[in-house]
Structure 1
Amino acid sequence: MKHLTGKYAVITGGTDGIGAATARAMRDRGAEVVIIGRSPAKAASMEKEPALNGGSLRALTADFSSMTQVRSVVRQLAENHRHIDFLVHAVGILITKAQYTDEGLEKDFAVSYLSRYVFLEEAAALGLIGPATRMVNIAASAPEVPRYARMEFDDLGAVRARTGMKAHGQAQLANDLLTAQAADRYGITAVGYGPGAVNTSIRREVPKILQAVMKPFYARATRQPQDVAADLLALLVDEPTPLSSTTFANRNGRFAPSAYLADPHRQADLLSISEALARQAAQRG
């Protein structure tokens, strides 16, 4: 295993699940890790954990349903560091009812996708990310986008109208589309990763009756966060993707982006929608 002494890693959604497991793994290889999460109690608990190999872990708290808070936390990062070596976007929620933020955004889409876009835009503007940055964007990455998961981003009204599970699926697709163009747009190395079913608390806001319906599937297919963290360390460190390129992967290995994700018009549509929603959030925030 390669040590990460002198490397700086930032992990969103880093106080729970995949994010927390990845943060611990990177810290214990010697990296200086900053986790970002919503819970001050969970953040404080992780900061107190013993570290191995000279690594360190500190936490910043922010609610990623607020694009104002996302921009603020990126500025906090820029105050202390010139450059991010590793960026893992693990933040996300799963809700089944329509919920909206104070900035007028559908909550699942805001947390699970738009916060990541705003983070990248702000980090790029501040010079925090660039050619030496390696990013993993966790979504629903697969060799082909299933027909039932295909949505378009050419209509702002249609994007805003998607709620519940539709909004969650939209966020996953948007993350993969963003990853597909991240190397060109930000100059970084980008990896889209689909972990499959993982034993985390992301389903905590799903009604109990739906959790019961979903349980047999997850009981058969669930992996542990540590399993995913090991995959991410391999992709980022042990068998890294070439610099300034894009690849996708899941538990079965790497694969190229599908034609659906590589479509430049679809990518441009997503950027246009993302910019419009980010402007809306800035005006209301």
Structure 2
Amino acid sequence: MNIAASSEKVSNYLKLDFSNFNKNDKRFGMSGHGQAQLANDLWVVEVAKRYNIVTLGAGPGSVKTNIRREIPNFLEYLIAPFFILKTKTPAEVSSELWRLIESKSFMKGKHTFYKNQNFFDGDPWLLSNENRKNLWNYAEDKLTILEGH
């Protein structure tokens, strides 16, 4: 299971440019977080296919964590009313995900995504064989470099 910001639609500004990773300059803040979650969602799809296992990408929504630690305190207080009713505790998310796992039968070799009480297959960008292969190859290249040091 991958707990990420899974969504039915991938925003264009988050889509990675696999031909030039240096152009992916959204490495910090919420944009950087969004790209990391997008890469996690690509893994959800690829790992299910590659290893014939069940994978689940779950978007828990707003969870009480320190994700907004880079936001100045005054701004955090200004945006708090927009999140107060929708924000869950980690324990609430854990219970919701456990109920989800118990309630659905999953098929080996298949992925599924879940958010806001809905199951979905994923954005076509995530389902692209080319995008998943490019991320996989990029990760393998980086691991090869690390192994050499």
TM tier, smaller: 0.7 to 0.9
> How many positions carry a matched residue from both structures?
148
Which residue identity is paired with 1:174? A
In the TM superposition, residue 177 of structure 1 has moved relative to its aligned partner by 1.0
In the TM superposition, residue 206 of structure 1 has moved relative to its aligned partner by 4.5
In the TM superposition, residue 229 of structure 1 has moved relative to its aligned partner by 1.2
Residue from 2, 16, 28 that aligns with 1:164: 28
Whether the 8 Å contact between 1:156 and 1:273 is mirrored in structure 2 is no
164 and 151 in structure 1: CA distance in 2 versus 1, 3 angstrom threshold: same
Which aligned segments of 4 or more residues in structure 1 are displaced greater than 4 angstroms?
Answer: none
Separation (CA, whole Å) in 1 of partners of 2:118 and 2:66:
25
Specify every segment of 5 or more residues in structure 1 that has no aligned partner in the other structure, as ranges.
Answer: 1-135
In the TM superposition, residue 230 of structure 1 has moved relative to its aligned partner by 2.2
Give the aligned CA root-mean-square deviation in angstroms: 2.3
In the TM superposition, residue 213 of structure 1 has moved relative to its aligned partner by 4.7
Which residue identity is paired with 1:240? S
- Write the deviation string for residues 196-227 of structure 1: whole angstroms up to 9, x where unpaired: 11112333455435534542332242122222
- Write the deviation string for residues 123-148 of structure 1: whole angstroms up to 9, x where unpaired: xxxxxxxxxxxxx1111111121334
Separation (CA, whole Å) in 2 of partners of 1:252 and 1:238:
12
Residue from 119, 131, 136 that aligns with 1:254: 119
In the TM superposition, residue 183 of structure 1 has moved relative to its aligned partner by 0.9
Which shifted more, 269-278 or 204-213? 204-213
Which shifted more, 271-280 or 254-263? 271-280
Residue from 196, 201, 225 that aligns with 2:61: 196
Structure ranking higher on relative contact order (CA contacts 8 Å, 6+ apart)? 2
Which residue identity is paired with 2:46? Q
Residue from 206, 217, 228 that aligns with 2:82: 217
Separation (CA, whole Å) in 2 of partners of 1:234 and 1:162:
35
Taking structure 1 as the reference length, the TM-score comes to: 0.46
Task: Write the mapping of 1:42-191 to structure 2, written as runs, cut at 5 A.
Answer: 136-159=1-24, 161-165=25-29, 166-191=31-56
Q: Paired residue for 1:240?
A: 105
Taking structure 2 as the reference length, the TM-score comes to: 0.82
Report the identity percentage: 32
Which residue identity is paired with 2:100? L
